[in-house]
């Protein structure tokens, strides 16, 4: 959970959750993931993003009718008619099945001034059930009038996963992922000890997986952000093509669970095996 997500949890607990937010950061994939996870939690029947209630299942399958992702046709502009049609007018229609109706606007910095003016009144007086996430790399892309109506949150990856040591384990893990769909259970069962023999601990393997999955989201979102593990681009493009957004999200959930298990002193071999099995299932099903 990053600082933006922690803000949402606290604000919600205090009953102070607002209606309109700007998530600001260079990493589009991270912004999207933050907005989607927050939306899932807000709509969850248990209020926890439990992953199992009807609402969570709809979110994870990418089919929740009360989460709307605003899209644009031209790569460089989000036009006034697009914002009117998909948000300003649409938000007046009550939620389909939830207490909230949530809008996610990727590339919101590409709204031209007319589009920004069109959204102004909605930001000022949103319906009680409305919630809007604008995602952008820089708050300076917005008119001051728009900015003043948003809660702006910086969104950055936390933890020191930048500096991964180069070792043979890295190469081994990438190879394993390359044929993961066809990998047999015994290979996955001994993956952690094989990696360890190559100098890579389980924690390190999961950190590398974090970078790989983020790169996969970058590729999937066509965000154009620099990849952290460029040598895995072909492999990850394959994953990105194969997995839906919901399935890609589930990869992250599995990874978070694996990290939590390891932190709680879970068995490293089993943790890595279970994670790889889950990833393999997602890739096979897709
Ligand atoms: Zn739930």
Rounded Cα gap, residues 18 and 134, in angstroms: 13
User: For residue 281, what pLDDT is reported?
Assistant: 94
Ligand 1 centroid vs 39 CA: distance in angstroms? 11
Ligand 1 centroid vs 151 CA: distance in angstroms? 25
How far, CA to CA in Å, does 7 sit from each of 69, 123, 148, 256?
A: 22, 20, 18, 19
Ligand 1 centroid vs 76 CA: distance in angstroms? 36
Ligand 1 centroid vs 25 CA: distance in angstroms? 27
Per-residue pLDDT, averaged over 87-101, amounts to 96
Ligand 1 centroid vs 59 CA: distance in angstroms? 9
Ligand 1 centroid vs 30 CA: distance in angstroms? 21
With cut-offs at 50, 70 and 90, classify the pLDDT of residue 163: low
Ligand 1 centroid vs 43 CA: distance in angstroms? 7
With cut-offs at 50, 70 and 90, classify the pLDDT of residue 161: very low
Ligand 1 centroid vs 250 CA: distance in angstroms? 14
Where do the domains of the chain lie?
3-154, 168-285
Q: Which CATH class is domain 3-154?
A: alpha beta
Beta carbons within 8 Å of 111's beta carbon, 6+ residues apart: 78, 83, 105, 119, 142
Residue from 215, 227, 207 nearest 160 by CA: 207
Ligand 1 centroid vs 47 CA: distance in angstroms? 7
Ligand 1 centroid vs 175 CA: distance in angstroms? 35
The pLDDT tens digits for 213-255 are 988 988 887 766 778 888 999 999 999 999 988 888 889 889 9
The topology (CATH level 3) of 168-285 is Zinc Finger, Delta Prime; domain 3 (1.20.272)
Rounded Cα gap, residues 243 and 285, in angstroms: 9
- What is the DSSP track for 118-159? HHHHHHHS--TTEEEEEEES-GGGS-HHHHTTSEEEE----S
Ligand 1 centroid vs 121 CA: distance in angstroms? 32
Beta carbons within 8 Å of 39's beta carbon, 6+ residues apart: 59, 64, 67, 102, 104, 131, 133
Ligand 1 centroid vs 122 CA: distance in angstroms? 28
Q: Could you tell me the pTM of the whole model? A: 0.61
Strand-pairing partners, residue 22, are 134, 152
């Amino acid at each position: 959970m990053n600082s933006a997500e922690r803000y949402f949890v606290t604000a919600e607990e205090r009953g102070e959750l607002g209606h309109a937010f700007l998530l600001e950061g260079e990493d589009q994939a991270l912004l999207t993931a933050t907005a989607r996870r927050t939306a899932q939690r807000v709509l969850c029947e248990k209020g926890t993003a439990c992953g199992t209630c009807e609402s969570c299942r709809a979110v994870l399958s990418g089919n929740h009718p009360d989460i709307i992702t605003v899209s644009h046709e031209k790569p460089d502009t989000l036009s006034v008619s697009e914002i009117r049609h998909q948000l300003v007018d649409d938000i007046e229609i009550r939620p389909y099945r939830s207490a909230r109706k949530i809008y996610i606007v990727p590339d919101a910095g590409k709204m031209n001034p007319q589009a920004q003016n069109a959204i102004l009144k909605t930001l000022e007086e949103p319906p009680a059930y409305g919630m809007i996430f604008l995602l952008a790399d820089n708050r300076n892309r917005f008119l001051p009038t728009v900015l003043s109506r948003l809660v702006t949150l910086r969104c950055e990856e936390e933890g020191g996963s930048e500096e991964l040591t180069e070792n043979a384990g890295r190469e081994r893990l990438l190879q394993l992922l390359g044929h993961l769909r066809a990998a047999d259970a015994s290979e996955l069962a001994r993956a952690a000890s094989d990696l360890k023999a190559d100098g890579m601990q389980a924690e390190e393997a999961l950190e590398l997986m974090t970078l790989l999955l983020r790169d996969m989201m970058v590729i999937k979102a066509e965000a154009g952000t620099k990849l952290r593990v460029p040598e895995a681009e072909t492999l990850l493009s394959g994953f990105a093509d194969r997995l839906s957004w919901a399935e890609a999200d589930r990869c992250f959930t599995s990874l978070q669970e694996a990290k939590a298990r390891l932190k709680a002193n879970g068995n490293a071999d089993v943790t890595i095996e279970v994670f790889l099995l889950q990833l393999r299932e997602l890739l096979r099903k897709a």
